[in-house]
Amino acid sequence: DQQVKQNSPSLSVQEGRISILNCDYTNSMFDYFLWYKKYPAEGPTFLISISSIKDKNEDGRFTVFLNKSAKHLSLHIVPSQPGDSAVYFCAVNYGGATNKLIFGTGTLLAVQP
């Protein structure tokens, strides 16, 4: 039973345009939401996060939106660059004393020059 779903296995975008990656979750008790980027042969690299008390967080070209009523999370990358081509994972946790992360299956983003 997947608690975190990334329904698009892949996404192709032109350089300079917006990339929108989506993530759905099932449990309203999740407290903290993160996006990681992963290149082949490397570990996941933290990109941006948002807590459940906010609905938007921005860091440079990256913005994460949280819609708690829809249990939906999205990552916007504007403008997209070829170096953004990677697998993007969303992850959630319950907060509290332990912060076990639950990951989605990832979306492969390809930014075409």
Residue 96: CB minimum distance to other proteins, A = 4
Residue 105: CB minimum distance to other proteins, A = 5
Nearer to other proteins, 77 or 88 (CB): 88
Nearer to other proteins, 82 or 96 (CB): 96
Question: How far from chain centre, in Å, is Cα 69?
Answer: 18
Binding site for other proteins (CB under 8 A): 4, 31-32, 34, 36, 41-46, 49, 51, 89, 91, 93-106
